[in-house]
Structure 1
Amino acid sequence: MLADYHIHTNFSDDSTYEMEDVVRKAISLGIDEICFTEHVDYGVKGDLNCDYNTYIKEFQRCKKEYEDQIVLKIGIEFGMQVHTINQFQKDFQQYDFDFVILSCHQVDNQEFWSQDFQNGRTQQEYNQKYYEEILKVIKRYDGYSVLGHLDMIKRYDEVGEYPFEKIENIVTEILSQVIEHGKGIEINTSSFRYGLEDLTPSREILKLYRELGGTIITIGSDTHKEEHVGYNISYVKEELKRLGYKQFCTFEKMKPIFHNL
């Protein structure tokens, strides 16, 4: 089974890809199931966030038209910070999603991609603060399915690869919290587009998650363009097998469904 569980369309501010075009592309690639996960990032993007009602309406139209060819699920990607938790909680209570990715795209309203967050901090300081923000959020909020691209800070680390042993303790605490609350993590195949030498999250994090007892794992391309759909998902499934995993997950109404790799 092939499933892509991280898809952005023109309902996200950083994509112009039409939802129906995504569906057609996925069908052409033989993908069995996709989940749309549009961006919402309070505190930074303001009015650029997803228009929920229009998004849901278009999803329902596509689902009805293509239901005999592919399984479509509706999700969201919450780019959450500690001070924006209450806004996301209201959204979660108002709308029914199959799947919610909880990501950290900013800290203190400072973006990573622009280096606003990293500037003026040492590599140790911005890495530690990034993981601390994630831990603080998941200790206060559990309306999510998986943590998205857990070590994504490395995408934008101009200094180079930060040693895993320096973040292992806090990552262990994060993963333990995730497992205790019945949540999961994703593998995000955008690592190949960013030219990273490792998976996202890293193989070390994936090994640690399995050793701690983690079993809920999804695979997503983080699609923003046509060429991203389903990218390297089959390869990642094989990597998961090599790391000792037996299954991966899709979701329905916030409940994980397990599939053999």
Structure 2
Amino acid sequence: MFADYHVHTEFSDDSVYPMEQVVRDAIAGGMDEICFTDHVDYGVKQDWDCGKPILYRGEEPLANVDYPVYIARIKELQEKYREKIRIKIGIEFGMQVHTIPLYRALFHKYPFDFVILSVHQVDDQEFWTQDFQRGKSQKEYNGKYYEEMLNVIRKYRDYSVLGHMDLIARYDEKGEYPFEKVKPVISEILRTVISDGGGIEFNTSYHRYGLKNTTPSVNILKLYRELGGEIITIGSDSHKAEHLGAYIKEAGHLLKELGFQYFCTYEKQQPIFHGL
């Protein structure tokens, strides 16, 4: 089974990769299944039907997925390519505690097969711009990042997996933060996820970002396994053709070395287990 479960398209504000071209590229690459997971980031982005002018960052609209068009387009492609590849309806929720009510409403409005819960911002401050880290010590911004994640999953359960759960490391200009210093809060996050029947993802984008560790780190993956975690998806976090499906198979080999027996795909919010 060759599947990519973190795929972005023209419906994300940071990608112009046409959705149908993604499907064609996935078929050409020998994939059995893909799941579209375009961005929703309440707090820093607006819905297209919000009734206000959409703000732009350069040529990028600071807007969430155009939901009705997105769902209709995926269904159209599901039918068109049903003999060649399975296509699932996913979404990536970039959640903060104060935006939870908006996601609750959205989740129940559309037929998502799969939901990635990610923390992309805290206090409406982005990581990639360094707005969140600026003025804080490395201890402070790492601590606040994981505390926000823990507080979110204590209040919100309608998700499938936690996405790139040490994302802050990608944008940490001070280098790798010692795992032992955040292990207690990460342990609590993982226990909560497991108890609630959720999972985590292995995100292969660490290759293109030049990170020294995997995403999440090997330490987090090992801890998740030790705590009894079994649900894990694999995704490229693709935004361009050259990202799609990249290092997926390598990720499967690494997970197997770490003691995992399965990876998951999803249908109607239910995990489907496949042997590694």
User: What is the TM-score of this pair, normalised by structure 1?
Assistant: 0.99
Name the CA distance, whole Å, in 2 between partners of 1:138 and 1:73: 24
Is 2:33 aligned against 1:18? no
Q: In the TM superposition, what are the counterparts of 1:9-158 in structure 2 within 5 Å?
A: 9-47=9-47, 48-158=63-173
Is 2:242 aligned against 1:224? no
Structure 2 match to 1:3:
3
Name the CA distance, whole Å, in 2 between partners of 1:96 and 1:32: 21
Deviation at 1:96, TM superposition (A): 1.0
Q: Which amino acid aligns with 1:242?
A: E
Helix, strand or coil for the counterpart of 1:46?
coil
Greater share of residues in helix: 1
Structure 1 match to 2:187:
172
Is 2:206 aligned against 1:186? no
Q: Which amino acid aligns with 2:177?
A: Y
Name the CA distance, whole Å, in 2 between partners of 1:148 and 1:154: 13
User: What is the TM-score of this pair, normalised by structure 2?
Assistant: 0.94
Residues 166-218 of structure 1, C-alpha deviation per residue, up to 9 Å, x if partnerless? 01000000000000000000001111010001110001100000000000000
User: Pairwise CA RMSD of aligned residues?
Assistant: 0.5
Q: Which amino acid aligns with 1:136?
A: N
Q: Which amino acid aligns with 1:135?
A: L
Name the CA distance, whole Å, in 2 between partners of 1:114 and 1:75: 26
Q: Which runs of 5+ in 1 are unaligned?
A: none
Helix, strand or coil for the counterpart of 1:142?
coil
Deviation at 1:8, TM superposition (A): 0.4
Q: Which amino acid aligns with 2:125?
A: Q
Q: Which runs of 5+ in 2 are unaligned?
A: 48-62
Q: Which amino acid aligns with 2:20?
A: E
Name the CA distance, whole Å, in 2 between partners of 1:136 and 1:121: 20
1:209 to 224, 239, 245: 224
Name the CA distance, whole Å, in 2 between partners of 1:160 and 1:95: 40
Name the CA distance, whole Å, in 1 between partners of 2:196 and 2:271: 13
Name the CA distance, whole Å, in 2 between partners of 1:244 and 1:129: 30
Deviation at 1:45, TM superposition (A): 1.3
Name the CA distance, whole Å, in 2 between partners of 1:34 and 1:245: 21
Q: Which amino acid aligns with 1:127?
A: N
Name the CA distance, whole Å, in 2 between partners of 1:31 and 1:50: 25
- Residues paired across the two proteins, number: 261
Structure 2 match to 1:250:
265
Residues 71-105 of structure 1, C-alpha deviation per residue, up to 9 Å, x if partnerless? 10000000000000000000001111000000000
Deviation at 1:134, TM superposition (A): 0.2
Name the CA distance, whole Å, in 2 between partners of 1:159 and 1:204: 19
Residues 12-45 of structure 1, C-alpha deviation per residue, up to 9 Å, x if partnerless? 1000001100000000110110000010000101
Q: Which amino acid aligns with 2:45?
A: K
Name the CA distance, whole Å, in 1 between partners of 2:126 and 2:168: 10
Name the CA distance, whole Å, in 2 between partners of 1:108 and 1:6: 25
Q: Which shifted more, 9-18 or 40-49?
A: 40-49
